[in-house]
Amino acid sequence: MKKDLRVILSGGGTGGHIYPAIAIADEIKKRHPQAEILFVGAKDRMEMEKVPQAGYKIEGLWISGVDRSFSLKNFIFPFKLMSSLSKSRKIIKNFKPDIVIGTGGFASGPLLRVAISNGIPTLIQEQNSLPGITNKILAKYADTICAAYEKVKEVFPANKTVITGNPVRQDLLKLGENREEADQYFGLTKNKKTVLILGGSLGARRINSLIETFLQRFKEEDIQLIWQTGKLYYEEYKKYDSPSVRVQQFINRMDLAYAAADVIISRAGAGSVSELCIVGKPVLFIPSPNVAENHQAKNAMAVTEHDAAMMMTEDELTESFDTCFFSFIKDERRLAQMASNIKKLALPDATSKIVNEVEKLVNKE
Ligand SMILES: CC(=O)N[C@H]1[C@@H](OP(=O)(O)OP(=O)(O)OC[C@H]2O[C@@H](n3ccc(=O)[nH]c3=O)[C@H](O)[C@@H]2O)O[C@H](CO)[C@@H](O)[C@@H]1O
């Protein structure tokens, strides 16, 4: 293996594409401390803040997705694409990567395209059971595809697809017994039942309105909350912050949030689902209905079919949340069974397996 390995990672738009890239970068750095790593994301998206926070350099492309409906935004898309292809060429020419890794989201499209046409080895990582559009296009030309679900072999070339699982950040792999630190970090009361509410990296409008409706009920049941609203909705809900309802726009210490929780209510983005399997606590999934081909429901069903979590669609919430959730949270036997079942689905070696594939590609060169 080259001593001065040079790697570009590209992916973003949402945490679901950013955190896998950071986990892969951390594992590469662990194995190859001399490696030079550069991220490429989309200007104005959350990767421009989260990647430097994780200690890596990032360049931004002027790129966005195409609206599925007719929209004025789509008229400038060709210009954005040309601009980002041209910037990708410059980045690749200057950085001279040994490998380019794409984790999905629109910024990885132009960059991987340029890498492929320059004959640079490429690897893409697909988090979902139904691939996103960028990865679908790139898969034909990429050298290796690392995925979490067997099912993607129906869409991707099976001969170069390796099932590894989704990369999960190192700090989430060793939650251990840091509940006390977690309670202190969030200012929670010790020994009080805690529910963690997660709306995915951007927050979830419907989950926020559900929690607002049930605040009084949680109080009556003596349950405290860590409530992640998402940046977009924080202003609307921050008024509810109190010692028993910790309202957060975004949680930087997910390790502590998971450690503090007895039960978790969550969206079913692929990364969240993979993390929750590792965390091994009882979960109620409320999948987003606003994603391509309803893939979050499919991510959640991959867990519920093993009797390892509960799931409710947004449509079921009004009628069933009250009775189902509040009886679930009191049923200690059922909670323990769910925690044990979900833990069996964890794939904690995913990042390591992906970096093995990265090394194979670089060594081949
Ligand atoms: C609305 C939307 O398009 N969602 C997609 C997006 O989800 P989203 O961006 O929500 O991503 P995931 O659920 O995959 O992962 C969320 C990540 O953000 C982290 N996190 C979350 C909240 C927080 O306060 N702090 C924090 O660090 C989680 O620990 C996790 O690592 O990408 C996923 C992976 O491609 C898809 O499956 C989802 O359908």
Question: What residue ranges define each of the domains in the chain, with the CATH number in brackets?
Answer: 6-167+348-364 (3.40.50.2000), 171-343 (3.40.50.2000)
Written as six digits, the tokens of 74 are 């789509």
**40: Cα within 13 Å, side-chain hemisphere:** 30
pLDDT at 67 over 90: no
Q: What is the CA radius of gyration of the chain?
A: 21
Atom of ligand 1 nearest to the CA of 14: 9
The CA distance from 277 to 131, in Å, is 21
d(Cα 41, Cα 199) in Å, to the nearest integer? 22
CB 35 less than 6 A from any atom of ligand 1: no
CA-proximal residue: ligand 1, atom 1 (nearest): 291
Q: Whose CA is nearest to atom 5 of ligand 1?
A: 269
CA 282 to CA 264: how far, in whole Å?
Answer: 6
Residue 284 Rama label (left phi>0; alpha psi -120 to 50; beta): beta
Residue 140 has pLDDT above 90, yes or no: yes
In this structure, the residue with its CA closest to atom 20 of ligand 1 is 201
Predicted confidence (pLDDT) per residue in 195-205, tens digit: 999 999 999 99
What is the reported pLDDT for 197?
98
The pLDDT, as a whole number, for residue 64 is: 75
Among residues 335, 330, 325, 332, the alpha carbon closest in space to that of 280 is found at 335
Least confident piece of the model among 65-79, 126-140, 160-174, 195-209: 65-79
CA distances to 48, 79, 113, 290, 302 from 167, in Å: 20, 33, 23, 24, 17
Tell me: the pLDDT tens digits for 301-326?
Answer: 999 999 999 999 999 999 999 999 99
Distance CA 138, CA 279 (A): 32
Task: Answer whether 271 contacts ligand 1 (Cβ < 6 A).
Answer: yes
Type and span of the H or E element at 277: helix 270-279
Nearest atom in ligand 1 to the alpha carbon of residue 288 is 1
Expressed in angstroms and rounded, the spacing between residue 96 Cα and the centre of ligand 1 is 31
Is the Cβ atom of 19 under 6 angstroms away from ligand 1?
A: yes
Q: Is 127 in the pocket of ligand 1 (CB under 6 A)?
A: yes
CA dist 204 and 181 (Å) reads 27
The residue assigned the tokens 């969030």 is 186
Please tell me whether residue 248 adopts helix, strand or coil conformation.
strand
Looking at the predicted structure, is the pLDDT value of residue 275 above 70? yes
Cα 364 to ligand 1 centre (Å): 33
288 lines ligand 1 (CB under 6 A): yes
| pTM beyond 0.80 | yes
Mean pLDDT in residue range 189-218: 97
Six-digit token string for 183 = 């309670």
Residue 151: its pLDDT value, please? 84
For the Cβ of 108 lying below 6 angstroms from any atom of ligand 1, the answer is no
> How many percent of the chain have pLDDT more than 70?
96
Q: What is the DSSP-derived secondary structure letter of residue 188?
A: P
Nearest partner of 91 among 19, 141, 41, 29, judged by Cα:
41
Task: Report phi then psi at 162, rounded to 5.
Answer: -115, 130
Q: How far apart are CA 349 and CA 346, in angstroms?
A: 9
Residue 82 has pLDDT above 90, yes or no: no
pLDDT for 1? 63
Name the token pair of 7: 């790697």
DSSP state of 264: E
Tell me the per-residue pLDDT of 323-358, one tens digit each, with 9 for 90 and over: 999 999 999 999 999 999 999 999 999 999 999 999
Mean pLDDT confidence for 217-238: 97
Q: Which of 67, 59, 64 is nearest to 90 (CA)?
A: 59
Task: With a cut of 70, say whether residue 162 has pLDDT above it.
Answer: yes
- Tokens representing 123 are 């690897």
Count other Cβ atoms within 10 Å, centred on residue 144.
20
Is 229 touching ligand 1 by the criterion CB < 6 Å?
no
Ligand 1 within 6 A of 274 CB?
no
303: CB partners within 8 A, 6+ apart: 273, 276, 277, 283, 285, 309, 311, 342, 345
Structure tokens at 38: 């550069």
Helix (H, G, I), strand (E, B) or coil at 265: strand
Query: Does 254 sit in the ligand 1 pocket, CB within 6 Å?
Result: yes
Q: Which residue's alpha carbon is nearest to atom 13 within ligand 1?
A: 269
Q: Is the CB of 25 under 6 A from ligand 1?
A: no
Query: pLDDT averaged over the chain?
Result: 93
Q: What is the reported pLDDT for 2?
A: 65
User: Is residue 70 pLDDT above 70, yes or no?
Assistant: no
Q: Tell me how far the alpha carbon of residue 269 lies from the centroid of ligand 1, in angstroms.
A: 5
Measured in Å, residue 90 CA sits from the centre of ligand 1 at 30
Give the pLDDT score at 329.
Answer: 96
Q: What is residue 342's DSSP assignment?
A: H
Sign of the CA dihedral with 267 first, then 270, 271, and 275 last: positive
Q: Is the pLDDT of residue 58 over 70?
A: yes
**248 Cα nearest atom in ligand 1:** 24
Q: What is the pLDDT of residue 176?
A: 67
Whether ligand 1 lies within 6 angstroms of the CB of 14 is answered as yes
* Predicted confidence (pLDDT) per residue in 278-305, tens digit: 999 999 999 999 998 898 999 999 999 9
